[in-house]
Structure 1
Amino acid sequence: MSSDRRKFLRNLAFGSGALAVGIPSFGATDAEKDEALQRTYEWAGQGQRFNMSGYAAPKIDKVRIGFIGLGMRGPGAVERMSYIEGVEIKALCDKYPDRATKAQDFLTKKGLPKAKEYSGEDGWKAMIQNEDLDLVYICTPWHLHTPMSVYAMQHGKHVACEVPIAVTMDECWQLVETSEKTRKHCMMLENCCYDFFEMLTLNMARNSMFGELVHAEGAYIHDLRDLNFSKTGYADMWRLKQNMTRNGSLYPT
């Protein structure tokens, strides 16, 4: 993947790039700004296809969803979506067919229409290709998040994906550029936004209890050793393997 735009943004951050390409000043006319921005894009080597910031896709009266990954987090996602009005669960996919069947049983017990089941190594591709879906909801091992998200957007589907949605900077750029090209929303899901700890910390910050904030990082103690070392936990112990081969923040949200 081309990294021209990435280099361009990095240069802007250091300031010299902005001066070199002539970013328009606040006092410039609209025509001058347009001309300067065009020169900037030409210098970067790749113009932005479309700015997704503030963009809202056309309204969808009934959102048809297909799920990929029904092991640890997927079943809970299916249940949550089943309570939302205007949602239709159209397809269920997992590498292991019994997991898709188990999620199907939940829909049956709730009296909801039967969803199409997919399984196997490439079942997710068949689901994306064959089903008329508005949204693909991804709950798979981390290294599959970006390939599945990109594939879904390329086939005209919006994406909601568990964290982390990417594991490299190149994958982040791939997601951004695919979203811009297809004009499909790509949302990295967050698990804990509004519970006690998050709302308490937000309220404390708003009341200046930490003074002037210039930088903040947050994390929580999440001991997963039992699951990571269990042969019946994460499929093929994929999460333990991620912890063995990666460093830094393994679960950025």
Structure 2
Amino acid sequence: MTTALFPDLVVNGETVPQAVVAAEAQNHSAPAGKPGIAWRKAANAVAIRTLLLQEARRRGMAPDPVEVGPGRFETDEEALIRGLLDTAVEVAQPSEADIRAEWARDPERFRAPPLWEVSHILCACNLADEQAATLARARAEALIKQVRDNPRRFADLAKQNSDCGSGAAGGTLGQLGPGDTVPEFEAALRDMAEGDISAAPVPTRHGYHVIRMDAVAHGAVLPFEAVRTKIGEAMEKAAWARAARDFTDALVRGAEIIGADPATAPEPGGMR
């Protein structure tokens, strides 16, 4: 059924069920009260997916789903799109000169992971419990004030107040690197310099933290040989994405599409 707001999507004479577009619309954001925006985004994405499936079937391709996670396999449609793009899109590997030029453009981008020496005081709570979270935050704010008034008291305050086992050692957590702690805690560390004390309590799934950055070792710039493979893989992936987009754009230009305008739509699912 066609409506003024949500017209039928027809791709090369194939009418796509509105239920398919509605399901895709759940993956697209839109301002409150403006469902038409999400619908148009979804229609564009579905139009491209339909074009790719039509092309795969035109070529007589059959789906060959692969495992994409433990016990989780591609759908037949995902497998068809992947197979089509793997067949139709080819890119040359970047040359040694191109890889070296990409590295030389800004070697500072390629560093070893940093190391942080950190101490903290944990005021544990379940953040979903509003009353407990309010009390824990107030405790942490009071501790921050005490630490800022007298930084030398940090270890004693940790021993007396921290809900973490590290409190017995004055709050010290030793050396941490990326991935060693929860993302919210790590994000706070990345914004701190040596000697800093968190200006406000840092919330994580464990509660509120008062953090002191005891030392920072910024990762050294890595030599070309250490990052050559990573750069080459990234360049090849970017080139593949551009070529896949060009292939899709060509399908769009040669198609008759009613109810969508996918010329500027994002890449469809199934692309690398």
Which is helix-richer, 1 or 2? 2
RCO comparison, higher one (Cα < 8 Å, 6+):
2
TM-score, length-normalised on structure 2? Answer: 0.19
Greater Rg by CA? 2
